[in-house]
Amino acid sequence: MGDDNRLIRDRYRLIELIGRGGMGEVWRGQDEELGRKVAVKCLKQLGGGGDPQRLHIMRERFRREARVAAGLQHRGITVVHDFGADDGLLYLVMELLQGRTLSQVLEDEQGVALPLPDLADIGEQVAAALAYTHAQGVVHRDLKPANILRLSDGTVKICDFGIARLGHDAGFTSRLTGTGMAMGTPHYMSPEQIVGAEVDHRSDLYSFGCVLYELATGAPPFDLDDAWAVLIRHRTVAPDPPSTKRPELPAALDRLILELLAKEADDRPQDAAAIGRRLAAIRIELDRGSELPPWAKGLSTGAESVAVRRVRPYRPEAISLTGTWFTGTAPIASPVRPAPAPHTPPAAHTVAQYTAPLPAPTGPAAPGSRPAPPPASAVRGATPPTVPQSAAAARFAARQRVAMELSAAGRWAEAVDAFRALIAERERVLGADHPDALAGRYELGFALGRSGRSREALTEYERVAAGRPADHPEALAARQETAHVLGQLGRHEEAHRVYQEVLAARERLMGADHPDTLRCRHNLAYNLGRLGRVEDAYRTAAEVYAARARVLGPDHPDTLVTRFELAYALSRLGHWEPALDQYRQVRRARAALLGPDHPDTLAAGYEVGICLGRLGRYPEALDTYRELAAAHRRTGGPDDPQALRARHGYGVNLGRLGRWEEALVEAREVCALRSRVLGADHPDTLVSRREVATALGWLTRWDQALGEYRAVAASRARTLGTRHADTLAAREDEAQCLQRLGRTDEADELTREIATLRGNPEPTT
């Protein structure tokens, strides 16, 4: 299909052919612009007999399907970096992975089934990936061992999401002899897929049952060479129980596989997440049943001794719960927005904030943060845009790619300029109301919001919403973004009204338990808290948490996001003990799912420290902040603002324990680092400087403390205004210090001045 070292789109160099299949070839490649190794899947030339209209439709369908695949972000799904067409060749650029497909693994076994622990482990991971994609409204349609990859570390990934339907429509897939019908792979097709009926996620679950059957027995359910015979059996013949071919198979696994292979979709398990939980229970039971020493875990004995012996990667039990390895963006129709740090001044928003309503970082996006969400034109249910002439389409695609790469790199100002140029050209060629032009405005709004230009972002979102019917998915997405920006601007009443309108539409169109509806209700709960309606915020968050736990599972990341908000509401109501319990459970679950050093895990840990301090459990708080500071230094270095935030908490609790000399040293070091990293007038720097003054006061070094308090007051007056509440609080510290020094007249004069200023306060921000 391509020559060695062919260069695609002047960017992707094909180096070595590493696979060939029904839809094309897979090459080991090099991204010349970013200098990274990639896998490039080159699809066969488009069919259509030279019909320009058909070719045009196929290219557009490829673009839509590939964009859906590129929007999926999950540990169990192969990442799609880029896609496009080059001289009639369609291509996908994916992450390059070291591993083998399950087809290759089964070929290695030469007809021998996999060890049972490996089977349960693989099945559990596949179920988690399917649960995620089905929640996004995406159906694979061609799940089979050849499309499931097992990496060298034991991670399992599904390939070719979103492309199988394209292959069916364009005639790329294997054909049955003499029929001319385009079909999938016969050994793994559901009965409804065979007859050409509409398929949904339950068709994938049937295919998953076929895969599990083959992993369990060494052969698919109907192991025949005649494709017609296989298809007829899928429709009419019940498969033999896998236990008849492998007696040692656990009864629970035997039963699950047969349930998945039910002829009628309604008779199968309906939810991949529930299947994952059943497989997790089977895996745990297999682990408990093994009497091997720890160093031999995963080695096969007895009836499985002929299988290839391999050591399985260690995975804690908690990781088997619903939502395993979810790392992707929320659907754009209702992104989850973060709460500002409840105990420190709000800081600049970053891409990492799409992970959860957690304290916002004050520096660059944290490691492991999510990328920007997919563009509005990728929203489920969006009207397929009309493609302009091919030359214009190629030009638009190139500019879009540049703008999105700038966004992904966090270069928001440049991304804004790139999106503006793209929109101007799209509007000139397509018109201002064309779906692609409106999609560009959505992306521009996102980039503007991330660069701190909230009012301009608001204008773009309002234009997108105005250009679509009120209940259109893109209009709802834009209106929800509008509400978020209104909240950023402090217009919480307006934000509340918009959230209520969007929520009503989502409940009417999608139902009360749809994930997008629940995200909107979560955002509404968050905004209620910012309106000061903390009791209402608590009740709403509790309802959303209960619904998400029921629909997604108790340890799904979205459920944990709401549990975090629930804990925050409890803390604002002064219920510190239950808040502590909630934060600790969130921290434990995130540590199991994401790792102990993930930013979301550490954010929950920080709130644990705050609660412990509020409850007077200072030694425990001290240990918590020490651990947090060490973790942030490991991931972000000694100057990481989050590491400095943890060190600040550590110093505060040293003081609470009466260890003021140590507290002073810590406060001075943190203040110096914050001044260098964040600036001398940054709110966090001033908080640390005040802590220096506090320590000096406790050490009765009031002259030095007075200088620090005055410096804090002067800085706040410069940046916030003389009547701002924080400025007046700093002046009160100064007055108290003067009183301690016996300078009573000066203290009284300053107190009267503060009282006068309080009588005519400036609005706080």
Q: Where are the domains of the chain?
A: 7-95, 99-320
Q: Count CA within 13 A, CB hemisphere, residue 145.
A: 20
Q: Alpha-carbon distance 143 to 12, whole Å?
A: 28
Map tokens 């990639």 to a residue. 38
Q: Pairing relation of β-strands 24-31 and 36-43?
A: antiparallel
Say whether domain 7-95 belongs to CATH 3.30.200.20.
yes
Tokens (6 digits) for 732? 């009160």
Of 752 and 354, the one with more pLDDT? 752
Answer yes or no: is pLDDT of 315 > 90: no
Q: Alpha-carbon distance 52 to 61, whole Å?
A: 14
Tokens (6 digits) for 743? 């300078």
- Residue by residue, DSSP assigns 245-310 as T-TTS-HHHHHHHHHHT-SSGGGS---HHHHHHHHHHHHHHHHHH--S-GGGTT---GGGTTSPP-
Residue 490 pLDDT class (50, 70, 90 cuts): confident
Average pLDDT, the chain: 78
pLDDT of residue 351: 25
**What is the phi-psi region of residue 226: left when phi exceeds 0, alpha when psi lies from -120 to 50, beta otherwise?**
beta
- Is residue 41 part of an annotated ligand binding site? yes
Chain segment 680-728, per-residue pLDDT in tens:
999 999 999 999 999 999 999 999 999 999 999 999 999 889 988 889 9
Q: Alpha-carbon distance 235 to 238, whole Å?
A: 9
Contacts of 255 (CB under 8 A, 6+ apart): none
Q: DSSP H helical segments within 51-185, as ranges?
A: 52-70, 102-109, 116-135, 164-170
Q: What average pLDDT does this structure show over 156-173?
A: 57
Closest CA to 29 of 44, 8, 49: 8
- How far is the first Cα of the chain from the last one, in angstroms, to the nearest whole number? 61
Decide: helix, strand or coil at residue 100.
strand
Q: What average pLDDT does this structure show over 72-86?
A: 85
Say which of 82, 121, 142, 516 is annotated catalytic. 142
Q: DSSP H helical segments within 552-682, as ranges?
A: 557-572, 576-594, 599-614, 618-636, 641-656, 660-678
Chain segment 351-409, per-residue pLDDT in tens:
222 222 322 322 323 333 333 333 333 333 333 344 444 567 777 777 777 887 777 77
DSSP one-letter code for 90: E
Q: Alpha-carbon distance 33 to 27, whole Å?
A: 18
- What single-letter amino acid sits at 278? R
Radius of gyration of the chain (CA): 29
Chain segment 636-676, per-residue pLDDT in tens:
888 889 999 999 999 999 999 999 999 999 999 999 999 99
Least reliable range by pLDDT among 336-340, 481-485, 710-714, 742-746: 336-340
- Residue by residue, DSSP assigns 390-422 as HHHHHHHHHHHHHHHHHHHTT-HHHHHHHHHHH
Active site residue 142: yes
Check: CB of residue 37 under 8 Å from CB of residue 29. Answer: yes
Answer yes or no: is pLDDT of 67 > 90: no
Say whether domain 99-320 belongs to CATH 1.10.510.10.
yes
- Whether the pTM exceeds 0.85: the reply is no
- Buried b / exposed e across 419-450, counting CB within 10 Å, b at 16+? bbebbebbbebbeeebbbbbbbbbbbbbbbbb
Fold match between 7-95 and 99-320? no
